[in-house]
């Protein structure tokens, strides 16, 4: 992507973000950018070669599955929306999750005949996710390495140098089902259980925020290796500076590689 | 990475895999490669420019957290091992999970005072994960696009052209805690609940296998764009063939891009 087309795309995205931050709703139902993401978005967007394309600072959600159809040919509905599936609760602000379950359920038992027609209610904690479009592979690679170093172990570079920054602190819990007969959501866990997983989500929100702050610090110090095709135009001083930065980047990469291997080993040996 | 060093690394990995398949245990506690992964590993390794570096076909695990210490400076223990944390159960074979919970727990209530000293017991379903080292970016990019197209939406390219193939059908459920006083694991969900999440895991195992088969088919038809530095040496015929493949790859990329955008929108608008 040439400088001009990247800049053009970036400016387009930035003007959308500005509109949203000025309280004009964006396309999401929430209608705004998560407050916690604003500082890191500003930091990333102040960098010449990066622009944020989507963000979610983390959230708690409660989802009622739709009607599932067993069809080998179609894409699966496991944990998916299904027909008529919808959210009973979505909240990105940790200060507003304490009493989400009040008066939402009747309490009961796991249904005795559970099959595909059972519409489960799922409680989820989902952590930060950030997508960042980079001008070139060198920048994408530096950002990926930086994110991995901060514990965002499920990060990856996609096509067109878009980096997805992901971490794996999740909760994914069936808490009830929908009773079709009397049109009522039934919780098959106790109210104390719902309070406990709400507290566990708060802990995860805090951990998530701690990682976000680490990532902010690391990105503010990030060094990017010069793209290969820029080498011919550089002066002696530029070359010296580039070599220094490359040395640093290599060190960071090596560290991230070690951590990646460790993380992989943990998964395969667990 | 030059052809020789890639091949050297690949041969080294292949000989390790062969040893493991010949019933000499590998370094994981399980001591072997998951049977379900063998066909796709063979397919990937038959390709000149790819080699599998780690794999897990999916599993159910039950983990007892260790003793957690609140320390702002250290890395977090949320959902992590903690001191003395260990698995109560790990199984990769879906035919062996039915009665995992029998005689493992006393059944009780959520503890009234739950804090950092509470050692939770977590039930997890984790899907397929595959790491594939590619000779060049073009191969990594084609594999990434192929995996995304098969629903492995959390895939990504890391450094050194290692592609992580990941999907997000998980379960992550607190099911009990450890009672220190009488040295007993207590389930704070019912036995029926444990049976139900075991059944949900079986459904996920099947979905996981369906995706794995899709991925196998897609990789067997995968087209790789020729690396840029090979263009000068090609003949007219080679160039024509390359252009044709590039066209196909672009189509695939476009499709994956659309799907990636849709998936991102789903996340940000959910």
Residue spans of the domains in chain A: they are: 3-66+81-224
How far apart, in whole angstroms, are the C-alpha atoms of residue A29 and residue A24? 12
Task: Please check whether residue A197 touches B, CB under 8 A.
Answer: yes
Put simply, the answer to whether A200 touches B155 (Cβ < 8 Å) is no
Contacts (Cβ under 8 Å, ≥6 apart) of A54: A129, A130, A131, B264, B265, B267, B268
**Poorest-pLDDT segment among A56-70, A241-255, B69-83, B98-112:** B69-83
Q: How far is CA B140 from the centre of its chain?
A: 17
Put simply, the answer to whether A268 touches B28 (Cβ < 8 Å) is yes
How far apart, in whole angstroms, are the C-alpha atoms of residue B117 and residue B69? 8
| Topology, domain A3-66+81-224 | SSo0622-like fold (3.30.1960)
Mean pLDDT of B77-95: 79
- Which pLDDT belongs to residue A47? 94
Q: Compute CA distances B156 → A52, B20, B71, whole Å.
A: 17, 27, 32
How far apart, in whole angstroms, are the C-alpha atoms of residue A270 and residue B120? 18
- Which pLDDT belongs to residue A223? 84
Residue A26 has pLDDT above 70, yes or no: no
DSSP for B174-234? EEEEEETTTTEEEESS-HHHHHHHHHHHHHHHHHHHHHHHHHHHHHHT---PPPGGGGGG-
How far apart, in whole angstroms, are the C-alpha atoms of residue B129 and residue B127? 7
How far apart, in whole angstroms, are the C-alpha atoms of residue A177 and residue A171? 18
Tokens of A164: 């997805």
Tokens of B120: 């939770």
Task: Name the DSSP letter for residue B142.
Answer: H
List CB contacts (< 8 A) between A54 and chain B.
264-265, 267-268
Put simply, the answer to whether A172 touches B170 (Cβ < 8 Å) is yes
Mean pLDDT of A176-187: 92
For residue B76, give the chain A residue with the closest CA.
A207
List CB contacts (< 8 A) between B264 and chain A.
53-54, 131
Residues A53-80 have pLDDT tens digits of 999 999 999 999 988 765 544 444 555 5
Q: Which residue has the higher pLDDT, A256 or B237?
A: B237
Which of B79, B127, B211 to mutate against chain A (most A CBs within 10 Å)?
B79
List CB contacts (< 8 A) between A229 and chain B.
none
Tokens of A203: 């802990």
Q: Compute CA distances A28 → A61, A82, A87, A231, B267, whole Å.
A: 15, 20, 14, 42, 9
DSSP for A78-91? TTS--BT-EEEEEE
Q: Which residue has the higher pLDDT, B83 or A219?
A: A219
Residues 165-184 of chain B with CB under 8 A from chain A are: 166, 169-174
List CB contacts (< 8 A) between B267 and chain A.
54, 56, 126, 129
Q: What is the ipTM of this complex?
A: 0.79
Q: Which of A200, A192, A90 is nearest to B173 (CA)?
A: A200
Q: Which residue has the higher pLDDT, B8 or B233?
A: B8
List CB contacts (< 8 A) between B210 and chain A.
76
Q: Which of A162, A264, A270 sits opposite B54 (nearest CB)?
A: A264
Residue B76 has pLDDT above 50, yes or no: no
pLDDT category at A230 given cuts 50, 70, 90 is: low
Neighbour-count burial for A152-163, b at 16+ CB within 10 Å, e otherwise: bbbbbbbbebbb
Q: Which residue has the higher pLDDT, B24 or A118?
A: A118
Calculate what percentage of chain A has a pLDDT beyond 70. Answer: 76
Put simply, the answer to whether A159 touches B257 (Cβ < 8 Å) is yes
How far apart, in whole angstroms, are the C-alpha atoms of residue A91 and residue B148? 28
- Which pLDDT belongs to residue A268? 41
Per the CB < 8 A criterion, the answer to whether A148 and A190 are in contact is: no
Q: Which residue has the higher pLDDT, A122 or A69?
A: A122
Domain B3-69+76-223 class? alpha beta
- Which pLDDT belongs to residue A1? 53
- Which pLDDT belongs to residue B17? 86
- Which pLDDT belongs to residue A90? 94
Residues B180-202 have pLDDT tens digits of 888 899 999 999 999 999 999 99
Task: Name the DSSP letter for residue B159.
Answer: G
**Poorest-pLDDT segment among A256-270, B141-155, B159-173:** A256-270
DSSP lists the bridge partners of residue B52 as B132
Average pLDDT, chain B: 84
């Amino acid at each position: 992507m040439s400088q001009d087309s990247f800049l053009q795309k970036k400016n387009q995205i930035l003007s959308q973000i500005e509109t949203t931050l000025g309280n004009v709703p964006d396309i999401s139902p929430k209608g705004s950018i998560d407050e916690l993401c604003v500082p890191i978005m500003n930091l990333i967007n102040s960098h010449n070669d990066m622009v944020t394309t989507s963000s979610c600072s983390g959230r708690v959600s409660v989802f009622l599955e739709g009607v599932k159809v067993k069809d080998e040919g179609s894409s699966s509905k496991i944990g998916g929306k299904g027909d008529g599936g919808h959210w009973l609760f979505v909240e990105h602000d940790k200060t507003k999750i304490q009493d989400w379950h009040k008066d939402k359920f009747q309490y009961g038992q796991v249904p005795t005949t559970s099959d595909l027609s059972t519409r489960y209610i799922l409680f989820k904690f989902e952590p930060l996710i950030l997508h960042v479009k980079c001008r070139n592979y060198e920048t994408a690679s530096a950002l990926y390495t930086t994110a991995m170093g901060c514990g965002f172990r499920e990060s990856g570079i996609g096509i067109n140098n878009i980096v997805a920054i992901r971490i794996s602190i999740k909760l994914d819990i069936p808490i009830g089902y929908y009773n079709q007969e009397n049109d009522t959501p039934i919780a098959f866990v106790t109210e104390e259980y719902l309070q406990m997983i709400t507290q566990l989500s708060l802990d995860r929100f805090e951990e998530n925020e701690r990682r976000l702050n680490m990532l902010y610090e690391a990105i503010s110090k990030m060094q990017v290796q010069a793209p290969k095709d820029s080498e011919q135009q550089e002066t002696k001083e530029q070359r010296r500076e580039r070599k220094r930065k490359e040395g640093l980047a290599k060190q960071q990469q090596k560290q991230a590689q070690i951590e990646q291997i460790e993380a992989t080993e943990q998964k395969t040996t667990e």
